Chains A and B, each alone.
Chain A
Amino acid sequence: MANAAAATPQDGATQTATDAGLDSVVVRFAGDSGDGMQLTGGQFTLSTALAGNDLATFPDFPAEIRAPQGTLFGVSAFQINFGSRAIHTAGDAPDVLVAMNPAALKTNLAALKPGGLVIADTGAFTKRNLDKAKYDSNPLEDGSLAKFDLLAFDISEKTIEAVKPFGLGNKDALRSKNMWTLGLALWMFDRPREPIHDWLKAKFAKAPDIADANIAALDAGHAYGETAELSGPQGNVFRQLHVDPVESEPGLYRTVTGAEAVSLGLVAGAQLAELPMFFGGYPITPASAILHHLARLKEFGVTTFQAEDEIAAICAAIGASYAGQLGVTSSSGPGIALKTEAIGLGIMTELPLVIVNSQRGGPSTGLPTKTEQSDLYQAVYGRNGDAPMPVIAARSPSDAFEVAIEACRIAVEYMTPVMLLTDGYIANAAEPWKVPDPADFAPFPAEFLDTPNAKDADGGDTFLPYKRDAKGARPWVKPGTPGLLHRIGGIEKHETTGNIDYSPDNHQRMTDLRKSKVENIAVPDQQVALGDETGTLAVVGWGSTYGPIHQAVRRSIEKGLSVSHIHVRHIWPLPANLGELLKGFDHVLVPEMNTGQFKTVLRDQFLVDAQPLTKTSGQPFQIAELEAAIAKYFDGIDGNEGGQVNVNDQQLPSPEGGAK
């Protein structure tokens, strides 16, 4: 992060920071889960995108829908990092913390940068709320926030005042508190209000009074910033801060979350395959959003089916694929576990199927709303029998679009289930997205067999349901096709006829064929995302760690270190050149939000000494942690990580020094 603390100038004067070299700002909105913080954050994001800044967000909310009001575990937060340069992460430490109650302040203050700005609603700092947050005294008054700047005023009261003309009761009026706060934030960072006005009018089209009350609250917050002389305890005067638009590739942009991008990618993939899509789902956090998006896209030939359970969701998708549609199912870890037997059926019957796993913290129910990458073993290895399945992973919300298309392609071309890994962070986070042109993607139309594909002993036409093409894929035949009647199932079957066959030789061959089909899937060569093709250290990531790794490697390269970032999309099969690529580096470091799963796969597949850097706190990596881990391979000491110490005899005392 750059010197965004300029947002709260410490030099006591009136420096506005507009042109003070500021290139990115991190703002965190935190409040009670009933305070509408996700909504506030979402709308601020939209407004920021429309202002032309690049951005990344991190929504962090409790698993409980309505956790008890005012409590520490009921705090919901939304962080956004935006700026005039390319943004890859939601930012490490916030520059600004908006705390709607004492619990929000308590749980989030530790993250705030020293000198950062706290905006707090004094109206919510009541004795009762302070008790719930386990504060002995009011932190807004007891001087404990001295190292920060503080803007504390009664947002509750000002909101009630603003919406008075609409005759709402106090309780209803306070619901607009988040809009007042948003209005202030919009002023502070010079964001337009019009998109929010439009959004409120559309959202409350049926209740114009509510829309108007919210707009009034928003405008009042904005006006407050404009007219009131906001000054903090250190006498600083806060002025509006303008962050320049980012320089990005020309084109049409929108914001997109991972869940949206996956949904759109699946729709695009089905179109490229020229197939109707059948989506079987069951509600689970954080995967449900995909079901919700697709349920509204029926005109694209999408059938969504909310099944009675996870198993039925995948089984119905397998049934639809059998009948000639593109079957898709989606879930999160616990649900994927339930689907496992059916995934095996899909592998055995060799039907196309896309399985989206929006990973969350595990095991068991784990951390439903927090993010983790701990289902990699489950994806690659987690089935009974030798059951190979391709696995690919999205690295960011916008990347999820392309990856979903790729999953559809592999499923249809190779007649196989494919697992697409995203995670809670990708699913919920938003980022600007250059709207792609569907014409840029090569179509992969599905082919259905409708005539016999072999000759029998007498030279007559016959049909072999498991006769493979050059890629190792068996033919796809829709039931209803005359002349190609056949039976399939989960029992081991004969190599060509598909009839039940338990014979030893046949099972050996079928196991080998299933394995080689998946191993030989055409996967693009691995590119280096940042840095040289060889060097001292390769930082190898997959999935949503892309942003922090990229930034950490970029900063390390700027410091002159020989580091490269390699980010793997195709987890299984791995790109054929990856082993050689990794051998071009002295060290391989694999940061993961698990206990080192991809590291194990890399060691197993390539016999490289991949070292793990693991984190399972439910929170994404911070750039600083990665930078520190990289530094240890150079001169960052701490065990030296086997790296070389860059000898600099001007700085380092040398044992022979005195003898020179």
Chain B
Amino acid sequence: MNAPVKFETTLKDWETDQEVRWCPGCGDYAILKAVQRTLPQLGADPAKTVFISGIGCSSRFPYYMESYGFHTIHGRAPAVATGVKLANPELDIWLVTGDGDGLSIGGNHLMHVLRRNVNMQIMLFNNEIYGLTKGQASPTSREGTRSPSSPLGSVDHPAKPAAFALGAGARFVGRGFDVSKHLPDVLKAAHAHQGAAFIEIFQNCIVYNKDVFDDFAAPKGAEDRQLWLEDGKPMLFAGETKGIALDRDALELKVVDVADGDWEAAGVLVHDVTKRQIAHMLVDMPFGPFPMALGVLYDDARPTFESAVIAEREQASAGKEANLTKLLAKGQTWTVSGTAQDPV
């Protein structure tokens, strides 16, 4: 979107000379590769690409991308990125945050960057734990999570990142997980979206919250537990033997069996990425009774914040002269005699 001219790069071109310092086996490695694989496909120009992050394991990401990068302070990356985008809308911004950075200390900024609809891709790596500070429960940790700060099990209810984003007014909500082969497709769709595109990426913290997403992310049985959504396609999973339908009386989603591939007869919904109410149901769909909804859950663009700011500035400036001398002498003035200075 931000690169009118397709730029020729390879995955290698996006690697820096910095040693990657995540724990061996961390899901961040897979996400890094997925991003480095996706950018050449997008024709992205490294000079016009900026990775901006907060604080946490995920936020080391910019150091490993051969582009421009800004590793800011805890939770504030959306605010810094908003300033960058307003100052230079040509730049293609990727925000990297985590569940602690984005939803705890930076929850306020995340909410506002989404509702303002600043054009950027926001990748929230959700590992349901504070990794860099050695394993405390995070705002997305499930109830009962035992950690150094919650030795008896956490008692607070977890936040749902995708539901938060949609509630904050996001016009694009996608979901994927670190080792998924579909992750680049979600990234590409996010990049194609004009506006703030929110992507929740489940990420395995191998040290402090190992395999917590295995219920749906493990290769074995994945088909039955993952619902990959595609615009215009029926919401089918489990080898197309099951689908998601709308219980019109209860106004909620339900899982239905599909016999002989006749999903229409079973009432399976066709995914329409512009349907906001359905998106609300998809992000809230409890895993267990339902599969995990993945892919592009919602995508309905509207004008971006920076375009509105620029339009307003241009409109306000139209026909006005930026003459500082005149500005300084504005309002009611008087001349102390002895000069020939005319009021301007």
Q: Interface on A for B, CB 8 Å cutoff?
A: 46, 49-50, 52, 195, 248-255, 264, 267-268, 271, 276, 278, 280, 297-301, 303, 305, 307-309, 311-313, 315-325, 327, 341-342, 344-345, 349, 435-438, 478-491, 499-500
The answer for the CA separation of A344 and B73 in the assembled complex, in Å, is 10
Q: How far is the CB of A595 from chain B (nearest CB, A)?
A: 31
Within 8 A of A (CB), among B4-50: 16, 18, 46-48, 50
User: Can you list 30 A-B contacts with CB-CB less than 8 angstroms, sorted by A residue number?
Assistant: A46-B332, A50-B332, A195-B332, A250-B335, A251-B339, A252-B339, A252-B344, A278-B87, A298-B316, A299-B316, A301-B322, A307-B79, A312-B109, A312-B112, A315-B80, A316-B79, A319-B84, A319-B86, A322-B84, A323-B83, A323-B84, A345-B73, A478-B88, A481-B47, A485-B46, A485-B68, A489-B71, A490-B72, A491-B71, A499-B63
**Closest chain B residue to A250 by CB distance?**
B338
B320-344 contact mask (Cβ, 8 Å, vs A): 1 or 0: 1110110111111111111101011
Residues of chain A with a CB closer than 8 A to B339's CB:
250-252
B268-284 contact mask (Cβ, 8 Å, vs A): 1 or 0: 00000000000000000
- Whether, in the assembled complex, B241 has its beta carbon less than 8 Å from a beta carbon of chain A, the answer is no
The answer for the CA separation of A458 and B332 in the assembled complex, in Å, is 65
Cβ contact within 8 Å between A311 and B79:
yes
Cβ contact within 8 Å between B83 and A248:
no
Residues of chain A with a CB closer than 8 A to B84's CB:
319-320, 322-323, 479
Residues of chain B with a CB closer than 8 A to A480's CB:
47-48, 68, 88, 90-91
The answer for the CA separation of A161 and B47 in the assembled complex, in Å, is 72
Cβ contact within 8 Å between B88 and A323:
yes
- Whether, in the assembled complex, B161 has its beta carbon less than 8 Å from a beta carbon of chain A, the answer is no
Cβ contact within 8 Å between B82 and A483:
no
Cβ contact within 8 Å between B46 and A490:
no
Cβ contact within 8 Å between A253 and B73:
no
Residues of chain A with a CB closer than 8 A to B133's CB:
none
**Closest chain B residue to A248 by CB distance?**
B336
The answer for the CA separation of A254 and B62 in the assembled complex, in Å, is 51
Residues of chain B with a CB closer than 8 A to A253's CB:
333-336
**Closest chain A residue to B63 by CB distance?**
A487
Cβ contact within 8 Å between A278 and B313:
no
Cβ contact within 8 Å between B83 and A499:
no
- Whether, in the assembled complex, B312 has its beta carbon less than 8 Å from a beta carbon of chain A, the answer is yes
Cβ contact within 8 Å between A315 and B69:
no
Residues of chain B with a CB closer than 8 A to A320's CB:
83-84, 86-87
Residues of chain B with a CB closer than 8 A to A344's CB:
73
Cβ contact within 8 Å between A435 and B329:
yes
- Whether, in the assembled complex, B155 has its beta carbon less than 8 Å from a beta carbon of chain A, the answer is no
Cβ contact within 8 Å between A250 and B68:
no
Residues of chain A with a CB closer than 8 A to B343's CB:
252
Q: How far is the CB of A166 from chain B (nearest CB, A)?
A: 26
B292-332 contact mask (Cβ, 8 Å, vs A): 1 or 0: 00000000000000000100110011001110110111111
B18, B47, B81, B330: the one within 8 Å of A485 (CB): B47
- Whether, in the assembled complex, B290 has its beta carbon less than 8 Å from a beta carbon of chain A, the answer is no
**Closest chain A residue to B66 by CB distance?**
A485
- Whether, in the assembled complex, B67 has its beta carbon less than 8 Å from a beta carbon of chain A, the answer is yes
Q: How far is the CB of A385 from chain B (nearest CB, A)?
A: 13
Residues of chain A with a CB closer than 8 A to B80's CB:
315-316, 318-319, 322
Q: Tell me which of A298, A478, A499 has the highest count of chain B C-beta atoms within 10 A of its own C-beta.
A: A298
Cβ contact within 8 Å between A254 and B70:
no
- Whether, in the assembled complex, B76 has its beta carbon less than 8 Å from a beta carbon of chain A, the answer is yes
Cβ contact within 8 Å between B112 and A308:
yes
The answer for the CA separation of A319 and B330 in the assembled complex, in Å, is 32
The answer for the CA separation of A405 and B10 in the assembled complex, in Å, is 46
Q: How far is the CB of B182 from chain A (nearest CB, A)?
A: 29
A276, A345, A437, A487: the one within 8 Å of B87 (CB): A276
Cβ contact within 8 Å between A500 and B63:
yes
Q: Tell me which of B65, B83, B320, B325 has the highest count of chain A C-beta atoms within 10 A of its own C-beta.
A: B83
**Closest chain A residue to B82 by CB distance?**
A316
Cβ contact within 8 Å between B108 and A309:
yes
Residues of chain B with a CB closer than 8 A to A485's CB:
46-47, 66-68
Q: How far is the CB of B9 from chain A (nearest CB, A)?
A: 12
Residues of chain A with a CB closer than 8 A to B63's CB:
487, 489, 499-500
Q: How far is the CB of A588 from chain B (nearest CB, A)?
A: 37
**Closest chain B residue to A316 by CB distance?**
B83
Given A299-B320, A435-B329: A319 in contact with B83 (beta carbons within 8 A): yes
Residues of chain A with a CB closer than 8 A to B88's CB:
323-324, 478-480
Within 8 A of A (CB), among B51-103: 52, 62-63, 65-74, 76, 78-88, 90-91
**Closest chain B residue to A318 by CB distance?**
B80
**Closest chain B residue to A265 by CB distance?**
B328
Nearest first, the 8 A-B pairs at minimum CB distance are: A319-B83, A489-B71, A250-B338, A316-B83, A315-B79, A487-B69, A323-B87, A312-B79
Given A342-B73, A489-B70: A435 in contact with B87 (beta carbons within 8 A): no
Cβ contact within 8 Å between B76 and A438:
no
Q: How far is the CB of A269 from chain B (nearest CB, A)?
A: 11
The answer for the CA separation of A311 and B73 in the assembled complex, in Å, is 11
Residues of chain A with a CB closer than 8 A to B68's CB:
479-480, 485-487
Q: How far is the CB of A337 from chain B (nearest CB, A)?
A: 15
The answer for the CA separation of A10 and B141 in the assembled complex, in Å, is 80
Q: Tell me which of B69, B72, B85, B337 has the highest count of chain A C-beta atoms within 10 A of its own C-beta.
A: B72
The answer for the CA separation of A251 and B334 in the assembled complex, in Å, is 8
The answer for the CA separation of A414 and B328 in the assembled complex, in Å, is 27
B76, B78, B316: the one within 8 Å of A342 (CB): B76
B90, B313, B332: the one within 8 Å of A303 (CB): B313
Residues of chain B with a CB closer than 8 A to A479's CB:
47-48, 50, 68, 84, 88, 91
Cβ contact within 8 Å between B82 and A252:
no
Residues of chain A with a CB closer than 8 A to B48's CB:
479-480
Cβ contact within 8 Å between B336 and A250:
yes
Q: How far is the CB of A431 from chain B (nearest CB, A)?
A: 14
The answer for the CA separation of A274 and B100 in the assembled complex, in Å, is 40
The answer for the CA separation of A264 and B329 in the assembled complex, in Å, is 11
B106-117 contact mask (Cβ, 8 Å, vs A): 1 or 0: 001101100000
Q: How far is the CB of B77 from chain A (nearest CB, A)?
A: 8
Residues of chain A with a CB closer than 8 A to B313's CB:
298, 303
Given A251-B339, A298-B312, A323-B88: A312 in contact with B327 (beta carbons within 8 A): no
Cβ contact within 8 Å between B328 and A49:
no
The answer for the CA separation of A280 and B76 in the assembled complex, in Å, is 14
Q: How far is the CB of B142 from chain A (nearest CB, A)?
A: 29
Given A480-B90, A480-B91, A485-B46: A315 in contact with B83 (beta carbons within 8 A): yes
A52, A278, A438: the one within 8 Å of B334 (CB): A52
Cβ contact within 8 Å between A299 and B324:
no
Residues of chain A with a CB closer than 8 A to B69's CB:
486-489
Residues of chain B with a CB closer than 8 A to A255's CB:
331-332
Residues of chain B with a CB closer than 8 A to A321's CB:
83
Residues of chain A with a CB closer than 8 A to B82's CB:
305, 307, 312, 316, 319
Residues of chain B with a CB closer than 8 A to A298's CB:
312-313, 316-317
Cβ contact within 8 Å between A315 and B338:
no
Residues of chain B with a CB closer than 8 A to A435's CB:
328-329, 333
The answer for the CA separation of A342 and B83 in the assembled complex, in Å, is 13
Residues of chain A with a CB closer than 8 A to B72's CB:
315, 318, 345, 489-490
The answer for the CA separation of A512 and B85 in the assembled complex, in Å, is 33
Cβ contact within 8 Å between B81 and A254:
no
**Closest chain A residue to B78 by CB distance?**
A312
Cβ contact within 8 Å between A52 and B336:
yes
**Closest chain B residue to A308 by CB distance?**
B112
The answer for the CA separation of A491 and B321 in the assembled complex, in Å, is 43
Cβ contact within 8 Å between B325 and A300:
no
**Closest chain A residue to B21 by CB distance?**
A500
Cβ contact within 8 Å between A303 and B76:
no
Cβ contact within 8 Å between B333 and A254:
yes
**Closest chain B residue to A401 by CB distance?**
B328
